[in-house]
A and B are shown apart, each in its own frame.
Chain A
């Protein structure tokens, strides 16, 4: 039994019937087409019922026939149990496409252990395993190995990470400290956004999106095999996003638009040398309504602000394989970002060099060691209040790491020991060791555990910023003057420390069902808090200085589960569940409002159904429990109520090069709040969105 090109397929037979019945009522036409398909399908199924017959037929077949057979790729869906002794989750390009997500943070919502919340149309709060916020600072985010973590405010501006999703290879998410390999700030997790090799994007891709929230996006990529062993691509993208709404239905004044572009070239002059050159640029115009504390009545100021943000980067990567036992990687990049808004104007220039050497010491012992140097010049100017001694600052970061993987028992037990030593300009030397054990219980089971230490180094803002936090209006007759609560500079402010205990269990229940559990206990020390200094009267108002301190400790524990089930060849389910319990040793009322709390329970359930080869129907349901967000202006933790959200996507491919998709986001309510920023902005709600997307990739 085989299928040759001359044999009409059932799909085309079905389409053919529909084509010849254009005037018949639609449902009758579709019914007829469907019944025909089902009947034909039955006939074919019985013809290939004897598997053994099929095998012999394939073996005996000549090459011409084999090359003419139509093939399906069921195995591509096969899951391999990860051998990584860490809580790792991989989002594939296909997962992103079928989720209907239009940005990286939206796609991250499918990962267990991550807490993703949208603050308004253009701001997100993303963290792993607790401590969420717009300025969440314990998660390291990399794009092709380039850090996009801002050294100025220690956090990620997600809105300007405008990765072209069509050229995304995968997103690797590691929850837990990844400090040994990745360095400081990989405290609670690492997100690795990996774009496709240029050889996989040789062709044109044009996509156009239009909708009520996603107002419009046009993206174009062209790729080429421009010389022998050399591939390249370039892309341009521009998008316009609608504003979100306040609880009362008013516009939140946060619409934005963004343009970006870039290129990637991959050259392999010989089999043991690979060169990659890549670069991107972006320019964003972002509206926001901000509120600042003020020492003059009415003690706050409202502003319709606009953020002008732009940047570019260039990167080179050389992979050289000396022998089967020795491989070198050298990566160099330059990254420049500018962000001007009424809160402050900030700018950074980063130059980074990383060298890695992988060495097989023996068949059962692999060593990776590396060196890194990073130079950052950052500028902070025109803050809305306060001042900086020097607007420009240079920082150097030196790092050295080594990690050794030892196979203790052949094919059964692996031990990974590693440590990273970093020298930074704020806290000098930081040592971050880890030990991990992996046990292949059976072919279908993996058990791992680890203990590691990680630190979150201070940001420039924490060391130097002296602005207003809030202003307490006078309360006559007892307090006739306003009180200005301000940050005070304190050079003794130190790194936050984590000792993390983790474990995990992976089980391949069957070829179609796999489970991945992780459990963690994170013990934090030297956490950031603020302590009140001595108040003084400056003639017009009382100044209450607040010093950053490290006198908070506590722990966060949690459990995470990821399950995938290939219910049928054409129907796949994916579930993610996270439990997070935050328990900080707060002693003062100030301590209680320092850090947010991630939801105790989060659930994500995705269904990917290939109705036919050319028709997909995907549903994504999410439950997010109550969360607590830091409300800096009111010095309180604000409860963000639990919510249920649903996305749906229907996509049709009339030909191999064209896809039409209709996507609904946040379908269950007209709008709901998810999170608030720590300061400066007003609570905003996220609206229901519907968009239509056309993707054309001529083959």
Chain B
């Protein structure tokens, strides 16, 4: 085989292979949605905060909601006996009716207004930007070398009279206690 032929073949293989190279991991927000579901299962809400045994459990996606379309997969799953209802791109007014809020993306500017609306309320807040817990958030997801880790801020969690199981906290990348 002459040189140019092998180069040509190499390029052809490169082009064919290009697409599959990226199919390697699992889509980030798919995993994040599964993590959020798990966090909710290991979180203790104050008595009565979730309503009756079969009251819908609202998982709201805010921030750059278009990124986290995969959260729709959670619709119909259960937290205990409560069916999950997913609200994508929830408004500030809707936010107080959520049991979990996932803030997608890294748009910091609207965060203070969101926490003005919900701080201290029994809503599990999960985000993915570096200052999420500084802003009042409870759990922040970080990507460490292609794998997802989570940081818990206990002060913000306790401010809403919520808690997390020791088993969950043991898996945390970091736990901030204020």
Contact A271 B145 (CB under 8 A): no
CA A30 to CA B117, docked complex, whole Å: 57
Interface range, B side: 35 or more
Are A37 and B21 in contact, CB atoms less than 8 angstroms apart? yes
Cross-interface CB contact of A31 among B13, B66, B73, B91, cutoff 8 Å: B13
- Across the interface, which residues of A come within 8 angstroms of B149, CB to CB? 67
Chain B residues with Cβ under 8 A from A587's Cβ?
none
**What sequence of 0s and 1s flags, for each residue 225-241 of chain A, a beta carbon within 8 Å of any chain B beta carbon?**
00001010000000000
Interface positions of B from 19 to 48, Cβ below 8 Å from A: 19-31, 34-35, 37-38, 42
Provide a sorted-by-A list of 9 A–B residue pairs whose CB atoms are within 8 angstroms: A27-B3, A27-B10, A69-B147, A71-B27, A71-B31, A74-B27, A271-B136, A321-B113, A612-B18
Q: Decide yes or no: A64 and B25 within 8 Å by CB, A27-B6, A27-B7 being known contacts.
A: no
Question: In the complex, A393 Cα to B6 Cα: how many Å?
Answer: 71
Instruction: Specify which of A48, A72, A197 is in contact with B108 (CB 8 Å cutoff).
Output: A197
A324: chain B residues at CB < 8 Å are 92, 113-114, 116-117
Are A66 and B20 within 8 A (Cβ)?
Answer: no
Extra 16 A-B pairs, beta carbons < 8 Å, given A58-B26, A75-B68: A27-B6, A41-B17, A41-B20, A67-B171, A70-B24, A71-B147, A72-B22, A72-B27, A80-B66, A199-B129, A202-B130, A229-B131, A272-B115, A323-B116, A324-B117, A327-B112
Q: Evaluate contact between B25 and A70: CB separation under 8 angstroms.
A: yes
Considering the chains assembled together, what is the distance between the CA atoms of A458 and B148 in angstroms? Answer: 55
A10: Cβ under 8 A from any B Cβ: yes
Contact between A10 and B14 (Cβ–Cβ < 8 Å)? no
Contact yes or no, B20 A272, CB < 8 A: no
Whether A570 is near chain B, meaning CB under 8 Å from some CB there, is yes
B31, A66: Cβ atoms closer than 8 Å: yes
Stretch in contact with the other chain, from A1-9, A96-104, A131-139, A428-436: A1-9
- Tell me if A90 is interfacial: C-beta within 8 Å of chain B: no
Q: How far is the CB of B35 from chain A (nearest CB, A)?
A: 5
Q: Is the CB of B13 within 8 A of A69?
A: no
Partner of A59, one of B7, B37, B145: B37
Question: What string of 1s and 0s marks CB contacts (under 8 Å) between B63-84 and chain A?
Answer: 0101111100100010000000
A200 within 8 A of B: yes
Given the interface pairs A71-B146, A271-B119, A272-B116, the reply to whether A37 lies near B17 with Cβ below 8 Å is: yes
Selected contact of B10 from candidates A3, A31, A54, A268, CB within 8 Å: A31
Contacts of B67 in A (CB 8 A): 75-76, 78
- Answer whether residue A568 sits at the interface, using C-beta atoms and an 8 A cutoff: yes
Q: How does the 8 Å CB contact mask read for A1-33 relative to B, with 1 for contact and 0 for none?
A: 011010001110000000000000001101100
Chain A residue numbers with a CB within 8 Å of B150 are 67
User: Once bound together, how far apart are the Cα atoms of A271 and B137, in whole Å?
Assistant: 9
Separation of A74 and B148 alpha carbons in the complex (Å): 15
Q: Please indicate which of the listed interface residues A58, A197, A199 has the most CB atoms of chain B within 10 Å of its own CB.
A: A58
A611: chain B residues within 8 A (beta carbon): 14, 18
**A50 an interface residue at 8 Å Cβ cutoff?**
no
Report chain A residues within 8 Å CB of B77. Answer: 59
Chain A residues within 8 Å of B168, by CB: 63
B131 in contact with A66 (CB, 8 Å):
no
Quote the shortest CB–CB distance from A472 to chain B (angstroms): 57
Give residues of chain B (110-167) contacting chain A, Cβ–Cβ below 8 Å: 111-117, 119, 129-131, 134-136, 143, 145-150
**Whole-angstrom distance between the alpha carbons of A609 and B11 in the complex?**
13
A232 to B110, CA, bound (A): 21
Q: Is A272's CB under 8 angstroms from B6's CB?
A: no
A214 within 8 A of B: no
Report A-chain residues with C-beta under 8 Å of the C-beta of B35: 63, 66-67
Interface range on chain A (Cβ under 8 Å from partner) = 35 or more
> What is the interface of chain A, defined by CB distance below 8 A to chain B?
2-3, 5, 9-11, 27-28, 30-31, 34-35, 37-38, 41-42, 44-45, 48, 54-55, 58-59, 61-64, 66-76, 78-80, 197, 199-200, 202, 229, 231, 266, 268, 271-274, 319, 321-325, 327, 360, 363, 568-571, 609-613, 656, 699
Report the nearest A residue to B173, measured CB to CB: A67
Q: Which of B64, B73, B92, B130 sits near A199, CB closer than 8 Å?
A: B130
Question: Which residues of chain B have C-beta atoms less than 8 A from A44's C-beta?
Answer: 20, 23-24
B122 to chain A, nearest CB (A): 17
Are A71 and B23 in touch, CB under 8 angstroms? no
B residues bordering A, Cβ < 8 Å?
3, 6-7, 9-10, 13-14, 16-31, 34-35, 37-38, 42, 64, 66-70, 73, 77, 91-93, 106, 108-109, 111-117, 119, 129-131, 134-136, 143, 145-150, 168, 171
**Which of A68, A71, A80, A271 has a CB less than 8 Å from the CB of B28?**
A71
User: In the complex, what distance in Å separates the CA atom of A323 from the CA atom of B96?
Assistant: 14
Give the docked Cα–Cα distance between A405 and B32 (Å): 34
Pairs A-B, 3 closest by C-beta atoms: A41-B20, A271-B136, A324-B117
Point out which of B30, B111, B145, B171 has the most chain A C-beta atoms below 10 A from its C-beta.
B30
**Which residues of chain B come closer than 8 Å to A199, judged between CB atoms?**
129-131, 134
Interfacial chain A residues near B29, Cβ < 8 Å: 75
User: Which A residues are CB-close (under 8 A) to B136?
Assistant: 271
Bound-state CA distance A274–B135 (Å) is 9
Q: A10-B21, A71-B26, A199-B131 are in contact. Are A321 and B116 (CB under 8 A)?
A: yes
Closest B residue to A202 using CB positions = B130
Contact A80/B64 with A38-B16, A199-B131 known, Cβ cut-off 8 Å: yes
In the bound complex, CA of A568 to CA of B135 (Å): 37
Specify which of B28, B131, B135, B171 is in contact with A72 (CB 8 Å cutoff).
Answer: B28
> Roughly how many angstroms separate A160 CA and B176 CA in the complex, as a whole number?
43
Decide yes or no: A10 and B24 within 8 Å by CB, A61-B34, A272-B112, A699-B145 being known contacts: yes
Are A609 and B130 in contact (CB-based, < 8 A)? no
Question: In the complex, are the beta carbons of B69 and A75 less than 8 A apart?
Answer: yes
Q: How far in angstroms is the closest Cβ of chain B from A271?
A: 4
Q: Name the CB-closest residue of B to A329.
A: B109
Whether A75 contacts B70 by the Cβ 8 Å rule is yes
On chain B, the residues within 8 Å of A9 by CB distance are: 24
Q: Tell me which of A44, A78, A271, A570 has the highest count of chain B C-beta atoms within 10 A of its own C-beta.
A: A271
B147 touches A70 (CB 8 A): yes
On whether the beta carbons of A613 and B21 are closer than 8 Å, the reply is yes
List of B residues within 8 angstroms of A271 by Cβ: 111-112, 115-116, 119, 134-136
User: A34-B13, A67-B171, A200-B106 are contacts. A613–B116 as well, Cβ < 8 Å?
Assistant: no
User: How many angstroms between the C-alpha atoms of A38 and B6 in the bound complex?
Assistant: 16
Q: Are A327 and B31 in contact (CB under 8 A)?
A: no
- How far apart sit A58 and B33, CA to CA, in the bound complex (Å)? 9
**Docked pose: A62 CA to B31 CA in angstroms:** 11
Question: Contacts A570-B19, A611-B14 known; A3 to B113 CB distance under 8 Å?
Answer: no
Most buried by B among A59, A61, A71: A71
Residues of chain A lying within 8 A (CB to CB) of residue B24: 3, 9-11, 44, 70, 72, 613
B residues near A274, Cβ cutoff 8 Å: 108, 112
Chain A contacts of B34 at CB under 8 A?
A: 58-59, 61, 66
- Is A31 within 8 A of B9, CB to CB? yes
Smallest beta-carbon distance A596→chain B, Å: 37
Closest to B136 in A: A271
